[in-house]
Amino acid sequence: MPKELFGRSGESKTIIDILAAARAGAGAVALLEGIIGTGKTSLLRWAEETARDEGMTVLSATASPAEQRFPLGVVHQLLGTLPDTAHDWGRTFAAYREPHEGGRVQPDYPLLAELCASVGRAARRTPILLTVDSVQHVDCPSLLWLGFLSRRLENLPVVLLATKRCGEPASDQHLLVEFMEGLRPDRHIHLSDLSPSAALDLATSLCGHGHGHEAVGALVAGTGGNPYLLTEQIRTGPAIRSGPLVPAGADHGAGPAGPPGRTGRPGPPAAPGYPAFAAHP
């Protein structure tokens, strides 16, 4: 996580307001959405730190394609440590041990409601921030519960904050769309690449001062202000910390386009003095 988030003052103000409203009893669900590498997870972690500083309990989960096969896995990540639900997990998971009538058992209303009530009981002691990173990968029963909870948060001191990467298939498109349709528009936060000045601030903070302005500027332009691409190019670039960057020369041009990175789109042109962007594992 970066020590400082650049160019996200509007988004962080929105999050601060949502957390404050929840502490006053008006809960909410919010979503950070953006293309790959725009800083969704970083802003989520920042929100967690902020909530902890304000005395809130933070319960977090990260969804992954590999764990989509585990029903209620994400709910367990979130609530597994809550004393209010600890005794129920054996019973809850037992319902999923065997496929039922040719398909998986879906959580029934009493179970969904009981899990919500557990959150409500815990939130009466301390306001809660629930975070879910990469909601598009959440297993279906957990996604059903997240939607269920989000329709019952209004009078609870609870915030549910999730991230979603654009353009990725969801574990259950119908449930995800329903979850997103329930969002208040001002709580659906779209993260774009950084503005040129914020990207320049990030690049300068990573490179240190005293480096060629032109080279830093070219690097920023070459990455389009995408924080992930910018960070990776600086991390894998030559002698970043030991010497000044090579100033952009007229004969360098914009450099060749890099290979596809984790964006799945062609990499950005390599900045002068930098290798083309390397694919992320």
**Considering CB distances under 5 to 8 angstroms, the limit depending on partner class, which of ligand ATP, Mg ion, none binds residue 38?**
ligand ATP
36, interface contact from ligand ATP, Mg ion, none, CB < 5-8 Å by kind: ligand ATP
Dihedral sign computed on CA atoms, order 65, 39, 164, 168: negative
Q: For residue 83, what are its two tokens? A: 């004393």
- Rule CB under 6 A: which of 160-179 touch ligand ATP? 165
Rule CB under 5 A: is residue 41 a binding residue for Mg ion? Answer: yes
Query: Per-residue b/e over 157-181, b at no fewer than 16 CB within 10 Å?
Result: bbbbbbbbbeeeebbbeebbeebbe
CA 105 to chain centre: 29
Q: Is residue 269 helix, strand or coil? A: strand
Options 34-42, 83-91, 169-177, 246-254: segment touching ligand ATP (CB under 6 A): 34-42
- 240 lines the binding site for ligand ATP (CB under 6 A): no
Pick the stretch among 41-49, 92-100, 193-201, 233-241 that binds Mg ion (CB under 5 A).
41-49
Q: Can you tell me which of 29, 41, 162, 240 binds ligand ATP, judged by CB under 6 A? A: 41
Of 31 and 218, nearer to Mg ion (C-beta) is: 31
Residue 221 CB, shortest distance to ligand ATP, in Å, is: 17
Pick from 272, 270, 169: nearest CA to 229: 270
Q: Is 263 an interacting residue with respect to Mg ion (CB under 5 A)?
A: no
233 counts as binding ligand ATP under rule CB under 6 A:
no
Question: Which one-letter DSSP state was computed for residue 170?
Answer: P
Report CA-CA distances (Å) from 142 to 35, 124, 139: 23, 23, 5
Q: Residue 150 interacts with Mg ion (CB under 5 A)?
A: no
Which region, judged by CB under 6 A, interacts with ligand ATP, from 54-62, 111-119, 149-157, 224-232?
A: 224-232
Quote the strand ranges of the chain, DSSP E: 28-34, 57-62, 128-133, 158-165, 188-191
Residue among 48 and 115 whose Cβ is closer to ligand ATP: 48
3-state secondary structure of 271: coil
Q: Report how far residue 60's alpha carbon sits from residue 130's, in angstroms, rounded to the nearest whole number.
A: 6
* Residue type at position 123: A
- List residues binding ligand ATP (CB under 6 A): 2, 5-8, 34, 36-42, 165, 202, 227-228, 231
Which residues make up the interface to Mg ion (CB under 5 A)?
40-41
